[in-house]
Amino acid sequence: MVCWLRSKNRVIFILFFSFVLFYLKPAYSQCNIVEDVQVQGNHRIEKEAILAVIRTRPGSRLDYETLDKDLRDIYRMGYFSDVKIEVKDGKRGKIVIFIVKEKPVIAKIIFEGNKKLKEDKLKKEIGIRLYSMLDYNALRQSINKLKEFYAAHGYYKAQISYEVIPMPRNQVAIRYKIKEGKKVYIKKIEIIGNKKISDKQIKKVMITKEKGLISWFKGTAFLDKKRLEYDVNKITIFYHNHGFIEAKVSDPKIRYDKKLDGFVVTFEVYEGPQYHVNRVSITGDLVRPADEIMKVIKLKKGDVFNREQVRKDIESIKKLYADEGYAFAEVIPLSKKDTEKHLVDLIYKISKGPKVRIERINIEGNTITRDKVIRRELKLAEGDYFSGKKLQDSIDNLNRLGFFKDVKIEKRRGSAPDKMILDVKVKEAPTGSFSFGAGFSTMDRLMGSIELSRDNFRGLGERIGIALRFGGVTSLFDIDYYKPWMFDKPISGEFRAFRWRRDFDEYSRKSVGGSISLGFPLKRIDEYTRGWIEYEFDSAKIYDVYPYSSYVIRAMEGTFTTSGISFGINRISVDNIRYPTRGSLNRFSFEYVGGILGGDNAYNKYLAQSTWFFKLKWDTVIMLQGRWGRLQKRSGGMLPVYEKFFIGGIDTVRGFNYQEISPRDPITLEKIGGEKMMIYNVEYRVPVTKDKSFIALAFFDTGNVWRASEDYSFSDMRRSIGFGIRWYSPMGPIRIEWGFALNKKPYETGSKLHFSMGSKF
Measured distance CA(424)–CA(363) in Å, rounded: 5
For 487-536, the pLDDT digits (tens) are: 889 999 999 999 988 887 788 889 999 999 999 999 888 888 999 999 99
Residue 264 in this model has a pLDDT that exceeds 80: yes
Confidence of residue 217 (pLDDT cuts 50, 70, 90): low
- At 81 the pLDDT is 86
Mean pLDDT of 395-414: 90
For 1-21, the pLDDT digits (tens) are: 444 334 445 545 444 444 444
List 127's β-bridge partners, or say none: none
Quote the mean pLDDT of the chain: 88
- At 156 the pLDDT is 82
Of 217-221, 245-249, 459-463, 568-572, the range with the lowest mean pLDDT is 217-221
Mean pLDDT of 393-407: 89
Name residues whose C-beta falls within 8 Å of residue 342's C-beta, 6 or more positions apart in sequence. 273, 274, 275, 276
Percent of the chain with pLDDT over 90: 59
Considering the segment(s) 34-102 as one domain, its CATH architecture is Roll (3.10)
Q: Are 186-270 and 357-428 the same fold in CATH?
A: yes
Mean pLDDT of 322-347: 93
C-alpha 686 chain-centroid distance: 14
Alpha helices in 304-363 (DSSP H): 307-323
Tell which residue, 266, 159, 255, 262, has the closest CA to residue 216.
Answer: 262
**3-state per-residue secondary structure call for 587-604:** EEEEEEECHHHCCCECEE
For 648-695, the pLDDT digits (tens) are: 999 999 999 988 999 998 888 888 999 999 999 999 999 998 888 899
DSSP 645: B
Q: Is 67 left (phi over 0), alpha (psi -120 to 50) or beta?
A: alpha
Measured distance CA(544)–CA(554) in Å, rounded: 10
- At 555 the pLDDT is 82
Of 25-34, 221-230, 386-395, 591-600, the range with the lowest mean pLDDT is 25-34
- At 43 the pLDDT is 86
Residue 365 in this model has a pLDDT that exceeds 80: yes
Torsion 342-347-348-349 (CA) sign: negative
Mean pLDDT of 296-306: 95
Tell which residue, 479, 405, 434, has the closest CA to residue 731.
Answer: 434
- At 20 the pLDDT is 43
Measured distance CA(596)–CA(604) in Å, rounded: 13
Alpha helices in 92-212 (DSSP H): 119-126, 136-152, 199-205
Say which amino acid occupies 235: I
Q: Cβ atoms within 10 A of the Cβ of 156, count?
A: 18
Measured distance CA(510)–CA(541) in Å, rounded: 5
Of 489-493, 575-579, 622-626, 660-664, the range with the lowest mean pLDDT is 575-579
Burial class (CB in 10 A: 0-12, 13-18, 19+), 166: exposed
Verdict on whether the full-model pTM lies above 0.85: no
Percent of the chain with pLDDT over 70: 91
Residue 710 in this model has a pLDDT that exceeds 50: yes
For domain 276-351, give the fold.
Ubiquitin-like (UB roll) (3.10.20)
Mean pLDDT of 612-638: 94
Mean pLDDT of 702-730: 92
For domain 105-179, give the fold.
Ubiquitin-like (UB roll) (3.10.20)
CATH class of 357-428: alpha beta
- At 216 the pLDDT is 62
- At 431 the pLDDT is 66
- At 547 the pLDDT is 83
Domain ranges for the chain, please list them.
1-30, 34-102, 105-179, 186-270, 276-351, 357-428
Tell which residue, 554, 550, 552, 511, has the closest CA to residue 675.
Answer: 552
Torsion 631-633-637-643 (CA) sign: positive
CATH of 186-270, one of 3.40.120.10, 3.40.50.300, 3.10.20.310, 2.40.33.20: 3.10.20.310
- At 21 the pLDDT is 41
- At 133 the pLDDT is 87
- At 728 the pLDDT is 78
Confidence of residue 224 (pLDDT cuts 50, 70, 90): confident
Of 76-80, 212-216, 424-428, 636-640, the range with the lowest mean pLDDT is 212-216
